């Protein structure tokens, strides 16, 4: 009986990883149209379905830890390979990222970055992508643990919306949408980054090209005050990690649609 119950115990402890509640972007809505995102189980299909979502190997819906923030996995999640199609969208369009689920405990900042792929996002080397931060949200109020934009994401149908700048030049781009969960971030390797990359073929008559930008392996360090952070303390502020928001695009009231924007901040 000992071997059998030991087997059950082992099985029992393996199960939480399989049914764990952190998530991935299962769908994207652009210009009102739904596109299926990448789901790691698709890697078992032959052929692999066409998705604009990058093919990450996050079968456990897991995350990237600070000890990998300078490694290629931080770019588009674990062992990510290029998405093999594009979502067509016009500059100025509203884009909504729909997570399959998100746990209330996983509070933290949410980001949208964009990088030009040059001519082809399906073959570009991810280590060459230089990202511009388009959108960010984080702490809203309270403490220990307080209210965060992830709470709004959960209330809003597990979704996060952003607007592609209306002046962005047409082209092939990767948008890197990311949540960093801070529930374990009081220890220096405890923050959890969940990056999700999606290819977009952006049209329109914008003329603003991206310039500068930062490779994702230089975004964050474990020692950043917004990466090692004790959510369960009487904090009075939060320093948003990563590069600062782009000044290439003027935000207008029409584009300020996300819940975070209804919080007084300027
Ligand atoms: C809510 O989320 C589900 C699942 O992702 C999606 O099918 C549905 O379109 C979403 N509803 C809205 C109003 O965005
Ligand atoms: Cu989790």
Q: Please give the tally of structural domains in the chain.
A: 1
The answer to the question of residue 15 being in a domain is no
Give the position, in ligand 1's atom list, of the atom nearest the Cα of 157: 1
The answer to the question of residue 7 being in a domain is no
User: Among 54, 118, 44, 43, which Cα is nearest to 82's?
Assistant: 54
Instruction: Residue 227: give its domain's CATH number.
Output: 2.70.50.70
- In this predicted structure, the answer to whether residue 264 has a pLDDT above a threshold of 70 is no
Is 195:178 a contact under the CB 8 Å cutoff? yes
The alpha-carbon radius of gyration of the chain (Å, integer) is 19
Return the exposure string of 171-197: e unless at least 16 CB atoms fall within 10 Å of the residue's CB, then b.
bbbbbbbbbbbbbebeeeebbbbbbbb
Mutate to test the pocket of ligand 1, among 159, 160, 258, 259 (most ligand atoms within 8 A of CB): 159
- In this predicted structure, the answer to whether residue 15 has a pLDDT above a threshold of 60 is no
The answer to the question of residue 101 being in a domain is yes
Ligand 1 pocket check for 27: Cβ under 6 Å = yes
Q: Give, in degrees to the nearest 5, the angle at Cα 111 between 106 and 114.
A: 150
Over the stretch 189-228, which tens digit does the pLDDT of each residue have? 999 999 999 999 999 999 999 999 999 999 999 999 999 9
Q: pTM value? A: 0.88
The residues pairing with 34 across neighbouring beta strands, listed in sequence order, are: 29
Tokens 């002046």 map to which residue?
A: 167
Q: Which domain holds residue 126?
A: 22-237
């Amino acid at each position: 009986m000992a071997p059998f119950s030991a087997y059950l115990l082992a099985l029992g402890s393996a199960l939480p990883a399989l049914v764990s509640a952190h998530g991935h972007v299962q769908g994207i809505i652009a210009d009102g149209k739904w596109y299926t995102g990448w789901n790691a189980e698709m890697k078992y299909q032959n052929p692999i379905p066409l998705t604009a979502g990058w093919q990450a190997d996050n079968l456990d819906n897991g995350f990237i830890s600070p000890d990998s923030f300078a490694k290629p996995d931080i770019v588009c999640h674990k062992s990510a390979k290029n998405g093999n199609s594009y979502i067509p969208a016009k500059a100025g369009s509203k884009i909504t990222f729909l997570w399959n689920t998100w746990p209330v405990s996983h509070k933290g900042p949410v980001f949208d970055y964009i990088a030009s792929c040059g001519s082809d996002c399906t073959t570009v080397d991810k280590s060459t992508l230089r990202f511009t931060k388009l959108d960010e949200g984080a702490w809203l109020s309270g403490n220990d643990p307080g209210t965060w934009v992830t709470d709004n994401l959960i209330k809003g149908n597990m979704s996060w919306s952003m607007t592609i700048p209306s002046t962005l030049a047409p082209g092939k781009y990767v948008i890197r949408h990311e949540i960093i969960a801070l529930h374990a971030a009081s220890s220096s390797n405890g923050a959890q980054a969940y990056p999700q990359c999606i290819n977009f073929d952006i049209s329109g008559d914008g003329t603003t090209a991206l310039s500068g930008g930062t490779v994702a392996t230089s975004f964050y360090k474990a020692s950043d005050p917004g990466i090692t952070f004790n959510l369960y303390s009487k904090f009075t502020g939060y320093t948003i990690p990563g590069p600062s928001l782009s000044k290439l695009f003027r935000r207008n009231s029409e584009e300020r649609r996300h819940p975070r924007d209804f919080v007084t901040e300027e």
